[in-house]
Amino acid sequence: MIIIKKEDISKLTSKYKNNGLSIVFTNGCFDLLHSGHLDLLRRASEFGDKLIVGLNSDVSVKKLKGRSRPIENESVRSNNLLDKSFVDDVIIFNEITPKKLIEQIIPNVLVKGGDYKKEEIVGYNNVTKNGGVVRIVPLTPGFSTTLIINKSNR
């Protein structure tokens, strides 16, 4: 279980694919890792052999969530993810979306949580045109980082 450098992604994914392993990819901020995140990651890992998690950098989280986020920095968040037996690798990315990362990895399975339409998920076209599939895992009710932050601020 490692944090992948951007320049090493192609080498690692080629190794996995050459060994006949299927790659699952999901992404997110994963700030204050909670049961909803863990459910998503555990279920995502069941769709293939290796789960690679794209983690929004501190810079991209601020752009997405505002100046008060992330609560935990990218080093803490990536190590929290790697502590889970079902996460194989983590790569931190600075962009708002993981589009470039997905184009580089070309996972067999792309997983997102929530009420998305598959066709609207970033990377859908790239994954499906290369023979992969996109899966949506329903959110775990009652868990969100924003909810946790709001409760702690009361």
User: Mind listing the pLDDT tens digit for each residue in 48-87?
Assistant: 999 999 999 999 999 999 998 999 999 999 999 999 999 9
Query: Torsions phi, psi of 116, nearest 5?
Result: -80, 160
User: Mind listing the pLDDT tens digit for each residue in 81-128?
Assistant: 999 999 999 999 999 999 999 999 999 999 999 878 899 999 999 999
Beta strands across the sheet bearing 23-28: 2-4, 89-93, 50-56, 23-28, 109-113, 133-137
pLDDT at 146: 52
Q: Omega of the bond prior to 70 within 30 degrees of 0, cis?
A: yes
pTM of the complete model: 0.90
- So where are the chain's domains? 2-152
Beta carbons within 8 Å of 65's beta carbon, 6+ residues apart = 29, 31
Using alpha carbons, list the distances in angstroms from residue 95 to 39, 60, 61, 85, 100. 25, 6, 9, 27, 9
pLDDT surpasses 50 at 149? no
For residues 3 and 103, which has the higher predicted lDDT (pLDDT)? Answer: 103
Of 1-10, 55-64, 102-111, 144-153, which gets the smallest average pLDDT?
144-153
Tokens 């995502």 map to which residue?
44
CATH topology for the 2-152 domain: Rossmann fold (3.40.50)
